[in-house]
Structure 1
C-alpha cells in the first residue's frame, strides 16, 4: 500500500516516550535551494546527480486534483503514473484521466528511442527524430499504418493496413485473409499514374476528360479485360448501358480532316438495330445496319477476302479441266438432288451458308454452263452446215 509522507518530529522535549508523525503546513511560498526527494525510500544524504525533483518509493504517482466547485469551471483530476502497482504489472509511464477512469496515453519501458518525436514545426516522427512531413514513420521493414474498427460501436469489425516497402505500397484487408486489395509498384509511373479529379479517373493524365481516361505517349495505351476462371463458360466481359442509344466511338487522330470524314466511326444500337456510322455529316453516315431479324444492310459494295488469294474458278476454262458430261450431271442430280460441288439444302441448314464459297461455286457452275452452251452452239452450227449441204 502507498504510504503518506509525514514530517518526522522528535517529541522528547514534550515529555512523550515515543516518536510521532505530524503533517507540515507551510503558509507561504516554499523555495528549495537544491534538489528535493519525495517518497518513502528517500534517505539522508541522497545523491541527486542532475535530478532537481525525485520521487522515490515503490508506487510513484503525481496527482493533479482540481478542487473547482463552480459548474462552469473545468474540474477534472489527472495523474502521472509510473509503472503498475500490481505484481507482474507493466513497466510503463501513463497519463491517467482519473474522473473519466481512462488512460489516454502510455509509454511502455523498452520503447525504442524516438518512438514518438514532435519537432518544433509540429511534424511528428514515429521511429525518427527528423520528421520531414507532418507525420513521418520510419522502420527497418515495411512501415505500416493500421486502421481497425473493433466493433465497440456496434459496427462489424474490420481492419485495414496501409504499408510500403521495396516491393510495393499496398492496402491490406487484414480481416479477410490479408488480401492485398490495392498495390503500387516502385517506378510504376513518373507522374499521374492514377488521378481522381472532379469525379473522373485519369491514368497517366492529371486532367481526365471522361469518367475513365487512359492516356499514354509511348504506344502502350490499351485496355485488357481478362477472366481467368478454369471453368469454360460464355461470359459478358464488357457492357455499355445507357438510357438511350449506347455508342462506341473509334477515332484516328492521324487523319487531318476538319470534317472528320473517315476519321471517326461509331458503333451503336438505335431503335433495336445495330449501326456502324461515320461522323455526322460524313458520306453515307450510316454505313451498316443489322436488325433483330438478322437482316444486314450496307450502303456500299460488299467485298470478301480482299487482298487474299481466292480460288476463283477460271480454271474451268483451262484445257486440262475435266468438264463433267451432261449425262453424268443428270445422273448426279437424280441421285443427290443438287448440283455437283454445291452444298445441299440439308448441309446449308446444318452449318450455315458460306457466302464466299457459295459465290465461287455458283461462278464455277456459270462458267461450266457457258462451256456447255458453247459446245451445244458448236454442235448446232455443225448440224446446220450438214443440213445446208444436204439441201443444196
Structure 2
C-alpha cells in the first residue's frame, strides 16, 4: 500500500514537472488534475471505465463504508450507459432519510419521491413523507393470478399460510385474485377476486359488524350469532324479485293410496286444535318461524285436498240434480194424471 502511494505521489510530481498528460499502466493523469482509469479522457476528478472492487475497512466496526458527499448532502449516482437514465440515492443535509430520484438522461427532469426511507423505518413509495410503516401514493397492481405453485397471488395480511384451491395456491389470511373461470376448468383468465380468513371473515360499516362468515361457512347478516343448521341467517327484512326453493312437492294427494280425511274429521281437528292438520299454529310460527319450502308444500297439499273435496261435492251436486229432475218429472206426471 505504501509503495502504491509512493508511486502515485511520484507520478503527480512528474506530471507537474512536465506539464502534460501522462498515462502510466492504464491510468491517465491530465494536466487539469483529472484522473482516468480505463480512459484517456477523464471528464471528472476521477473517472473509471471498467469494473471496480473496493475493500473498505473501518476502525470502529467490522467492514467499511463509502461516503460521497457535497454541500447538498450525500449523493450516490448510477448512470445507465445505454439510455443515460440516472438513478440517484440522496441523503440530504437535514438527515433522517434516504431518497431515490430518477432522471431520464435527456431533459434532466427529476422524478422526486420515487422511494423514501425514513430513520423511523417508515417507507414511502411516491411520497417523501410516509406517515406509516408503508405508504404508497398511487395504485398497487398484483398481476399474477394463475399461480399453481405455492406463491400465493395477492396480499398476505398475517402469515404465509397457503391452501390449494382448484390447483391454485391461495392464502388463508389475505386477498387477491385467482384465475378460475365460471363453467370452465381453464385458469387463463384472472377474473375472480378472493378474500380469505381461516377462522372466518367479518364485514364492518360505521364501527358495526354487519355480516359474518364463520369458519364452517355459516353466513350471518345483521347479527353475529351463528344459527346452527342454517347456511344463511338474516336478522332483518329481505326484499327480492324471486326466490327459488328446491324441495319436495305435494302431488301425492292425487294418488289413489292417499287417505283423504273426511270433512267431519277436518272440522273435528279445527275445533280441537284451532288450526288445520299439518299446519303450525300461530303460536308455533311466532316462536319458531316457518320453512318456506315446507310451508308452500303443505299449503299446496291443502289446496289439492280442497280440490278433491270440490270435485267430490260437484259429483254429489250433479247426482242430486239428476235425482231432483227425476222427482220433478214424476211430480208433474202425477199432477197431470190427477187433472184428467
Q: Same fold (TM over 0.5)?
A: no
More helix by percentage: 2
TM-score of the pair, normalised by structure 2? 0.37
TM-score of the pair, normalised by structure 1? 0.33
Quick check: which has more Rg, 1 or 2? 1
